[in-house]
Structure 1
């Protein structure tokens, strides 16, 4: 007897059996979507220009895979970093962050030693990133 799956069920890549990699990607997506929210990146870039104590977009992006790999290399770590990179690229190619935030994000994904090799220049080149409208920067602290 089959029961219907709820909307909260994780859609895996392996069909009916539980997919642990999809669970890792879903768990990483929750905080990553918040961190890579365009308005947050814009505030971070803007406040970093005026206050040296605020980390830059590049520093935040560089720190993510480094802290993700704190437990050492492994399949789960690689799945988590891939999920982070995909969400970062979605934000980058979405066109919503301001130009300084987009440039810092693209540079961090291109030259960051802890990011997967597939996030290289072919995906982060300025010609591949659509220009976005100038969004408003909401008030508040970046993080």
Structure 2
């Protein structure tokens, strides 16, 4: 049932999240013919890329991940934690505040979120290359 999250599907999911953040994940999954694990992982990867490319700012992307964390955790109650969705959530979460050793002139999302997302996406990209060989 998984056909992927192309640009149009990503735009649809982001619009639903922006306009009706309490929409059931199952509704979007049914509409897109994608299972919930794939949707959450692909959405998280797309949100990370939106941040890293500067297409969307930290606050927007962090808010999207804060909205879907409940779905990520709910899914993990019945099966393994969706990855990399959960790790991407944690990376955005780490950028929400100054850590104890941070200078106040440093943006936490630049120190904590950006490098972690780059690491996660590097692993995702390496894994995708490995599958295509």
Work out whether the TM-score is over 0.5.
no
Taking structure 1 as the reference length, the TM-score comes to 0.39
| Higher relative contact order, chain-length normalized (CA < 8 Å, sep 6+) | 1
- After TM superposition, the score normalised by the length of structure 2 is 0.41
Report the structure, 1 or 2, having the larger helix content.
2
In terms of Rg, which structure is larger?
A: 1
